[in-house]
Structure 1
Amino acid sequence: MSESRRASECIALHPTAVPGEVMTSCPECAASVTFAEPPRLSEVVECGDCHSELEVMTLEPVNLVLAPEVEEDWGE
């Protein structure tokens, strides 16, 4: 893997981010989503801008997707 490709796949950190703080983008509105602690796989977080519920799908790089809607269980 080339250096330029590796660099593009790294998690982008905001210039004013605290060291160890992970930032990524909301897939719905493209706002920054910040994790003060390392995110966990399948963790559900809320976007501070659009209030969408987002699920952590991968950890390296951190990838967020819209969390599935909770459906009623009709006992089927």
Structure 2
Amino acid sequence: MTLATTVASCLVCDTEFEVREDWEKGEITECGSCGQEHEVVEKSAAGIRLDLAPEVEEDWGE
């Protein structure tokens, strides 16, 4: 079974990488070249829009 993919460009280094079309809003992917994480922020018939993933701060259980 082959999963459908679309091509996205890294927002930091412009390297193109594949994003699975079945991903939903909020999922995180990583650029294979620079390691920058991207978040799926919108999914429509026109394609998938990415933004830089938010930095996750440590949760100290407070």
TM bucket normalised to smaller: 0.7 to 0.9
Offset of residue 71 of structure 1: 0.8
Query: What TM-score do you get using the length of structure 2 for normalisation?
Result: 0.72
How many residues are treated as equivalent by the alignment? 58
Which residue is 2:37 aligned to?
53
Is 1:23 the counterpart of 2:40? The answer is no
Query: What TM-score do you get using the length of structure 1 for normalisation?
Result: 0.62
Runs of 4+ in 1 over 6 A off after TM superposition: none
Is 1:42 the counterpart of 2:32? The answer is no
CA root-mean-square deviation: 2.3
Which residue is 2:16 aligned to?
32
Which residue is 1:68 aligned to?
54
Higher share in helix: 1
In structure 1, list runs of 5 or more residues that go unmatched.
1-19
In structure 2, list runs of 5 or more residues that go unmatched.
none
